[in-house]
Amino acid sequence: MPRLNWWGTVLYPAALVAVFLGGQLLLKALGVPGALQASLAALPAVAALLISLPVRLRRCWAEAKPWQRLGVLGSQEAVTKALLRGVLKAIVLLALVITALALSGELSWMPQLNTGLLLNAVALGLGVGFAEELLFRGWLFGELSLLLGPQRALWLQAALFSLVHTRFNLPPIQLVGLLVGLVLLGLALGLQRRADGGLLWGAIGLHGGLVAGWFVLHQGLVAINPSAPAWLMGPDNPIGGVIGWLGLALLLLARRPWWNEGTRTTTP
């Protein structure tokens, strides 16, 4: 039987954050440049996540196969198909964003691609996609489902995902736009896992694909008008603007068969 309580659910991610912040303070004391501190401090935090997660699932979820339950392990064919489907959805969403910006006259093409930028994008997408999906759609979604049920868990994980990623120093309109966009993304990622029969790799492909794809576009292919309206473009990236909202809304509409179900075993 699961042995869960809310204190453990709150304190577990808090401990991971403490590892990250402690790493940052140590690196700062050692004189490591500020630009590198966050990236380097993330390494021990991710290591702590990978080591502690299976232990937590065995002890608190009574789960004998933690990596399967988290959606990390599956057949090679199923994992590959889920990952590619997620990446494809990310490409389609980014194509819609770029098309909308081009039609609005807020974008100009300035290709500056190089091998280093592409490798950096791949590493960024895989790192962010895997670590964040393992934490939010793997552990958090699963633990909230045990505590609250799958439907409440779907909404709460999306809300917490939004709050963790929002920059609260933004002007009110941009802040609300970013909060809404991140909730929509959190819902889309949660539904992606459901559509993939519990596998996490579709959500990893979608999340990592958006991160890597936007990095390549913004750093190596296009320039966006600095005066582009925030309601259209969002702060720094389209997730908090109307363009991002519309793209994610279309994705959520396509995922409507999975809104009222815990999991499914097939993906359209």
Q: Of the residues 69, 96, 123, which one is the last residue of a structural domain? A: 69
CA 191/CA 259 separation, integer angstroms: 7
Q: Could you give the angle at which helices 242-254 and 172-195 cross, rounded to 10 degrees?
A: 20
In a domain, 207, yes or no: yes
Paired tokens of 83: 């990952």
Do 214 and 117 fall within a single domain? yes
Host domain of residue 250: 74-258
Kindly state the average pLDDT of the residues 186-213: 96
Percent of the chain with pLDDT over 90: 67
Do 83 and 192 fall within a single domain? yes
CA 12/CA 10 separation, integer angstroms: 6
Do 79 and 38 fall within a single domain? no
Paired tokens of 114: 């190089």
Do 65 and 78 fall within a single domain? no
Do 124 and 185 fall within a single domain? yes
DSSP secondary structure string, 56-115? HHHHHS--S-HHHHTT----HHHHHHHHHHHHHHHHHHHHHHHHHHHHTT-EEE-----H
CA 115/CA 119 separation, integer angstroms: 6
Paired tokens of 33: 């440049």
Do 99 and 160 fall within a single domain? yes
Do 29 and 160 fall within a single domain? no
In a domain, 268, yes or no: no
Q: Which tens digits make up the pLDDT trace of 57-69?
A: 999 999 999 999 9
* H or E stretch covering 209: helix 201-220
Do 104 and 61 fall within a single domain? no
- The answer on pLDDT for 196 being more than 70 is yes
Q: Burial level of 107, CB count in 10 A (0-12/13-18/19+)? A: buried
For the chain, what is the domain count?
Answer: 2
pTM of the predicted model as reported, rounded to 2 decimal places: 0.92
Q: Of the residues 52, 69, 86, which one is the last residue of a structural domain? A: 69
Q: Which of 44-53, 109-118, 182-191, 244-253 has the lowest mean pLDDT?
A: 109-118
Do 207 and 86 fall within a single domain? yes
In a domain, 267, yes or no: no
Q: Which tens digits make up the pLDDT trace of 122-132?
A: 999 999 999 99
| Residue 216's pLDDT band (cuts 50, 70, 90) | very high
In a domain, 264, yes or no: no
CA 16/CA 135 separation, integer angstroms: 10
Q: What pLDDT is recorded for position 39?
A: 83
- The answer on pLDDT for 1 being more than 90 is no
Do 105 and 47 fall within a single domain? no
Q: Of the residues 69, 102, 122, which one is the last residue of a structural domain? A: 69
Do 161 and 182 fall within a single domain? yes
